[in-house]
Structure 1
């Protein structure tokens, strides 16, 4: 980290603005390239739209969202504290830094491109990943058949995600089990052949229609299967073409790192922790970091650069200092609007909430497999109401991602709920509040929400088609990462975007086989010493 007033008239190969995950992964990719990298952030914290906060930091962030225009891809942020937190000895909020609350608590599938990249770049040793446990669908208690406690917890239906789960679930009828097995066999056969035997036209049909017509799947199983593909849309608005690859990904990810789970979460704050580890690696490789500094303006290529190189861009920073650089990289919120190719496209909005709960809700975190530790995360889906009328659109599902204290995000005896729904704040946040109250009533009636942060996040969905030149600025020296992906799971397209920008910067020196592939630093240093 640099002190104040030390950057003026310096020259760099790459200026990265913002420490969000894509910029930080790019910094990691450039960390051993020999490039001079200056990595700045207008904020006083790392992580950008993937940041993680203590209670005090979160409340400060809410104020900034409300007061600063173009602060980031967020709006309508607010914080609420329960009055009971000051009155009760038990169930009180702990001190501010006892919490690490993530703006990006995405789960990561074990077959994601991200994990091999973290391993090959050697930063995985500084990270800890924890297994996601059972996935649940909320039903009215009358809708959940009586069965074992493992599969029915007062209105919650455990989602079977493997053949073993289907056979073990005594809440399913034999007819439902047969239809599910038929569907799972179909997915397995399409994997073996490398393609699907289903006609292409079927993929445009609603997923519910596909399940009913092809496999006679009962409607009670639509939302458990929708949960496995993490669709932000209702079952009637989700196509078979969207759902099938996502469900196959879920099934193929089970057992990669251990029995019974398909995805993991990052301990100590989700994607923010990955971003900080990546930045640390770049700093070790010679990158220079400066927080509380953004970009005020970017000038055209000029002869006035310190070393006379006319290809350099003169950049004025927010503190008045000036630097020169060959490349400028950031998101639409980290670089000036006049450096971007066009105005931002219409962005999708998702209502989100982060809640601290006074109970660990242990019933939702059973051991993943026999003799295994309990899971650190679990997922609950609340189906939306079906709309009346031929042209009406069903409500989208609402997702609650729960993290236990094992994630390091809250004290022992509490848990964190990350809620999201593809609706505007006026509809989404009341639905979230209602869903959380229903969940607490089902699992621990004396539990309560101690603290809550609500906001709307702007971005794109994984299904959105981004422009082919979406990473280009007004010229080849300015590269712009797209708005955040709003999916519940990490979207592998981010790795592809980082690779694209890395190749543009490296030019003729780019070798695809060397992207985020590094030797251990100790081995590399010994080799250099031997050569000398």
Structure 2
């Protein structure tokens, strides 16, 4: 494949992560020729999502040693070798917490699963029969709602937030999802329809009938492996603020049409060893039973202040250099309110400065209510879909993509300028500019190799951490660590409705930044796992209600925060990988800053033209049309330039023309003439024009004399 590529591009982008993909789309959008390559056989790099089988293969590849490569290609400059393997991951531990039973027990387990499946069918039949006691017309309407998705009128949705939902029923989970098109809905003003968003807050609470849920089927290792295609497990899960820079970029660039989202409908917090729902909006605050009436007024007053806190600098001027937590205590807020604001709304630590804490609180409040009663969106099928959406835009505007195409070395000339890239196959490609993810770069190109460590855990559980009427809600939880107050643990729970796992299971992502490598990722996250989940050795039938872990993966990621060194080529740009933050806006900030420095004055990912508005014209036709226009214009100019004969003898010319027209009319026996019927009008107009020209000439001659 690499041998068939052109020999030269304006920009070569190495790595298909989030910042690289945004930059590739931005360069291609302004007409630059872009080659986008990746050493992996999948898109998104460190931002990727894997199936159950693929993530097992990824673990094996990450643990394998890096290949030693020696280039034998002759180039005009010095060759600088690149990394052929991503060395950012270490300390992997993958484990199945369930096993296949003994042969004599398999029949019993199958019988239990069949009973569970049969009871679900019986419950659905009971529900259908219970509806027969009602009006038959209502039953017909309900059957239509089950078989056909409800459509949402965007014009009505602007005035009625309840109508922003489009309900569809999933075949396997019998769930109600809410979807609307992001391409059109993101452009409306709040309250707005969501960007292809499934609103997790369904209408389950309003259901008039309820049924007992049967015991969930028993999961075994072999059954879990059979469902491997239904998993989408993220290496670096990221959310989108509804009012953040990523959503705005998706709107302005029209890339929203490539994405689908579901709302994170439940913000949780851990207080006194119990999970509680965080009141975020005005309705949640006043309906919450965990906050007293006085605390509700305190909270609403402070949140109202945070919406436009820049206008009241005198209120927090004394705390500019102090932690945000001290400012919250200075506002005489209660302990519960401080906990909600610090750990759930602003998601700050004890050392976060006050201005930064106020800014994060404001960002949360500006995002709240734009696409439902939530501040966050989750991309369906995983956050690994986000880089791919920008890759599609780059390809639309001529970008060339090659996976499994590792770049072995860079060609650098004597002026410290990268002139090209040498592939592992020996193919050499010239370029004017190079964008590269820093895991590819040699250590000499990074200013200070100071790594931040992030411990990550991916768990697959059999139930939610907090039971609810709607089992398909996405939950976000931030848990402070008493032993490490600066680095709390972020927990993101994703149900089957988020397209991350099979029905009946949940995917839980744990993220925690570490100070050093003394602890393994499992040890670092063990305190949270112990509080919320059931131990693997505990009987799954215990009545404590804690989720049972059926599969887990722990690993540690090194994030290089060093800048680009002076020894790096002047036309090369290094971009970082994903950090410990839960939102994706940081990648947009990096890409925009780089693009504006490299291409000053150019628009950053403007909206592409509508294909229906593009007019395609043949080049030959355009040339003929231009030539004919030039000929007519030149003849007109020549006729107007010969004004002496026209002005001195207008009567004779017009009279001759009139005589010719009369003779033509007389010889036409059929009464029809080649001369237009309004020839007399043309003659009169010519006489009037000549008289006006003579009059203007006389006035110009007499004007100096009178003055």
TM-score (norm 2): 0.62
The answer as to 2:219 corresponding to 1:91 is yes
Change (3 A) 1:364 1:398: farther
Deviation at 1:72, TM superposition (A): 4.4
The answer as to 2:332 corresponding to 1:216 is yes
Equivalence for 1:248 = 362
CA distance in 2 between partners of 1:290 and 1:336 (Å) = 22
The answer as to 2:504 corresponding to 1:413 is yes
Structure 2 unaligned spans of 5+:
67-84, 103-108, 111-217, 535-541, 623-707
Deviation at 1:232, TM superposition (A): 6.2
* Contact 1:360 1:413 (8 Å CA) reproduced: no
Deviation at 1:239, TM superposition (A): 3.0
The answer as to 2:328 corresponding to 1:207 is no
> SS where residue 475 of structure 1 aligns?
coil
Equivalence for 1:516 = 605
Deviation at 1:53, TM superposition (A): 0.5
How does 1:131-210 map onto structure 2 within 5 Å? 131-141=263-273, 155-188=274-307, 190=309, 193=311, 195-210=312-327
Equivalence for 2:25 = 28
* Contact 2:264 2:475 (8 Å CA) reproduced: yes
Post-superposition CA distance 1:70-122 (Å, at most 9, x none): 61432222211113366765234242211011112211101111112122222
Task: Considering Cα pairs closer than 8 Å and 6+ residues apart, tell me whether 1 or 2 has the greater RCO.
Answer: 1
* Contact 2:395 2:401 (8 Å CA) reproduced: yes
> SS where residue 333 of structure 1 aligns?
coil
Deviation at 1:57, TM superposition (A): 1.3
* Contact 1:36 1:287 (8 Å CA) reproduced: yes
TM-score (norm 1): 0.81
Equivalence for 1:398 = 489
* 2:590 alignment partner, one of 497, 508, 522: 497
Change (3 A) 1:22 1:74: same
* Contact 1:359 1:444 (8 Å CA) reproduced: no
Change (3 A) 1:394 1:495: closer
The answer as to 2:382 corresponding to 1:269 is yes
CA distance in 1 between partners of 2:344 and 2:361 (Å) = 6
Change (3 A) 1:281 1:491: closer
Deviation at 1:483, TM superposition (A): 4.0
Change (3 A) 1:301 1:453: same
> SS where residue 585 of structure 2 aligns?
coil
* 1:290 alignment partner, one of 363, 378, 402: 402
Deviation at 1:200, TM superposition (A): 2.9
Higher share of residues assigned helix: 2
The answer as to 2:379 corresponding to 1:379 is no
Change (3 A) 1:49 1:414: same
Deviation at 1:379, TM superposition (A): 0.8
Post-superposition CA distance 1:467-523 (Å, at most 9, x none): 6xx59872331111134332111234x22322233345546xx42xx3111324513
* Contact 2:461 2:548 (8 Å CA) reproduced: yes
CA distance in 2 between partners of 1:212 and 1:276 (Å) = 44
Change (3 A) 1:503 1:179: closer
Equivalence for 2:391 = 279
Larger Rg: 2
Equivalence for 2:452 = 348
Deviation at 1:446, TM superposition (A): 6.1
> SS where residue 526 of structure 1 aligns?
coil
CA distance in 1 between partners of 2:613 and 2:413 (Å) = 37
Structure 1 unaligned spans of 5+:
142-154, 304-309, 368-373, 388-392
> SS where residue 176 of structure 1 aligns?
helix
* Contact 2:465 2:546 (8 Å CA) reproduced: no
> SS where residue 5 of structure 1 aligns?
helix
CA distance in 1 between partners of 2:395 and 2:567 (Å) = 26
* 2:568 alignment partner, one of 474, 477, 498: 474
* Contact 1:384 1:397 (8 Å CA) reproduced: yes
